[in-house]
């Protein structure tokens, strides 16, 4: 059937149940029975028509294990299997709207006769290798935070970039020029220590005010005025807690391939670079 002609995105749909948010959800990469709530086509493609890469459609479900791009972490990729027809779609990217709290799955459709309808149930499969790699890059960024804290650098965290093409964590404030290379050396050592300590990751929802009191006990490192909900997801990696929406590994011991690789101080911001060591692979 010309299923892709039925495109009608419902005006509003309920928020997506994001399955990766609870602790165990970090390791869930497949979920059957996810119900299609909306189907739409990217506006750009509606104007340009389908091309050789295949038709693109955007799907939203009642629940999803896909981590959407955000918080410095790349999007999951994977597949969607329509349970009624057993047809497969490829998920190229997932995005999240803070306005609607809906995760949109941007999919490519190779078969011209794909039949998908609102109300269909699908099995959502996240590429588990890519997820694990993203979780490692993200968690290693947290480990740098912890190492900085242990070394006495309580600089307020700015953004993190946890993509494999040049991951960094940023802090407000500068490290004195003559202490920078020494800091990199110490961070490398602290990184190894934290990995060897095999510290378990913790994830919990905390009342905003309680989380703010606990996390900012020593210094006002985090700005909780940015959070609107009464509860905030607090992630602890290597004994260092912070508000976070990403996916993580179970323990610091899984980050043994990583190390700190450099420092850059510019315009009031300190950037610590980290990456997988060249001699190892994830
Ligand atoms: Zn995180």
Ligand 1 centroid–CA 107 distance in Å is: 26
Q: Rounded mean pLDDT of 33-55?
A: 72
Ligand 1 centroid–CA 55 distance in Å is: 34
Angle at 249 between CA 246 and CA 250, to 5 degrees: 125
Ligand 1 centroid–CA 201 distance in Å is: 10
Ligand 1 centroid–CA 36 distance in Å is: 28
CATH fold of the domain at 131-276: 3.30.980
Ligand 1 centroid–CA 157 distance in Å is: 12
Ligand 1 centroid–CA 234 distance in Å is: 9
- Among 67-81, 131-145, 216-230, 245-259, the minimum mean pLDDT is found in 216-230
Ligand 1 centroid–CA 111 distance in Å is: 37
The CATH number for 6-126, chosen from 2.40.30.130, 3.40.640.10, 3.30.2130.10, 1.10.1040.10, is 2.40.30.130
- Note the pLDDT tens digit of each residue in 11-37: 689 999 999 999 999 999 999 999 999
Ligand 1 centroid–CA 89 distance in Å is: 29
Where do the domains of the chain lie?
6-126, 131-276
In whole angstroms, how far apart are CA 30 and each of 59, 141, 169, 213?
A: 17, 26, 30, 36
Examine the pLDDT at 2 and tell me if it is beyond 70.
no
State the Cα–Cα distance between residues 199 and 135, nearest whole angstrom.
Answer: 15
């Amino acid at each position: 059937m010309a299923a892709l002609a039925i495109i009608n995105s419902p005006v509003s749909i309920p928020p997506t149940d994001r399955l990766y948010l609870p602790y165990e959800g970090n390791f869930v990469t497949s979920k059957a029975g996810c119900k299609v709530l909306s189907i739409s086509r990217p506006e750009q493609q509606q104007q340009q028509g389908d091309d050789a890469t295949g038709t693109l459609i955007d799907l939203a479900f009642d629940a999803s294990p896909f981590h959407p791009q955000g918080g410095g972490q790349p999007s999951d990729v994977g597949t969607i299997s329509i349970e009624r027809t057993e047809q497969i779609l490829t998920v190229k990217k997932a995005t999240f709207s803070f306005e609607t709290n809906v995760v949109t799955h941007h999919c490519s459709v190779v078969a011209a006769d794909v039949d998908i309808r609102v109300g269909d149930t699908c099995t959502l499969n996240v590429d588990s290798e890519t997820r694990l790699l993203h979780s490692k890059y993200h968690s290693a960024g947290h480990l740098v935070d912890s190492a900085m804290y242990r070394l006495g650098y309580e600089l307020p965290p700015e953004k993190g970039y946890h993509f494999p093409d040049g991951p960094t964590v940023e802090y407000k404030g500068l490290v004195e020029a003559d202490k920078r290379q020494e800091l990199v050396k110490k961070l490398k050592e602290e990184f190894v220590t934290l990995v060897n300590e095999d510290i378990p990751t913790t994830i919990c929802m905390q009342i905003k005010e309680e989380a703010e009191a606990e996390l900012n006990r020593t210094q006002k490192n985090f700005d909780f005025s940015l959070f609107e909900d009464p509860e905030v997801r607090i992630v602890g990696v290597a004994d260092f807690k912070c508000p976070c929406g990403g996916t993580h590994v179970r323990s610091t011991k899984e980050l043994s391939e990583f190390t700190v690789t450099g420092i850059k101080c510019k315009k009031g911001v300190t950037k610590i670079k980290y990456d997988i060591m060249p001699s190892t692979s994830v």
